Amino acid sequence: MKTLIGKGLVEKRGQTRAVRYHLSRKYYEFIDDTASYYNQQDNLEDTAILPTIINYLTKHVSGRMGDFETLFFGKFSRKQMRTLINGYVERKILIRKGTGSGTRYEISHEYTEKNKIMSKALQIGLQVLHDRGEISILPEENA
């Protein structure tokens, strides 16, 4: 492995138990397939993480830490995922139920209520734009 890293064909990512090895950009440039390199990057945008978790919890009601790790195909270590989820709990987006390995996470009532208010505000804004003639199609209101 050291030889491959030394020749720039493999990249080491992470530290301690979270170390992973990936084929390097140099390798993909050599085989003329740089698109594959960029598709494998760990640069999940923060704006994609929360909606993915919320979508999962909407379908499954609750989830465990392992469910979230699987959801992101191993892009995060357990420690990184725990940090993310704890941040959502602190921001009152998720609620924690249980302790230890039985801990489950659900969407908080506060988050759900804020989303209802934002949805209503958006609907009102769209209606105003429609009434002014600034938009021609009015999306249907979700009940």
User: What pLDDT score does 61 carry?
Assistant: 93
Contacts of 50 (CB under 8 A, 6+ apart): 88, 93
What local confidence, expressed as pLDDT, does residue 1 receive? 76
Report the chain (143 residues): mean pLDDT per 10 consecutive residues: 78 74 70 52 63 92 90 80 91 94 94 93 91 83 50
Q: What does the pLDDT read at residue 136?
A: 86
**Domain spanning 46-107, CATH class:** mainly alpha
pLDDT at 94: 96
Give the DSSP letter string of 29-85. Answer: HHTT-HHHHHHT-----HHHHHHHHHHHHHHHS-B-HHHHHHHTTTSS-HHHHHHHH
Residue 95 confidence (pLDDT)? 97
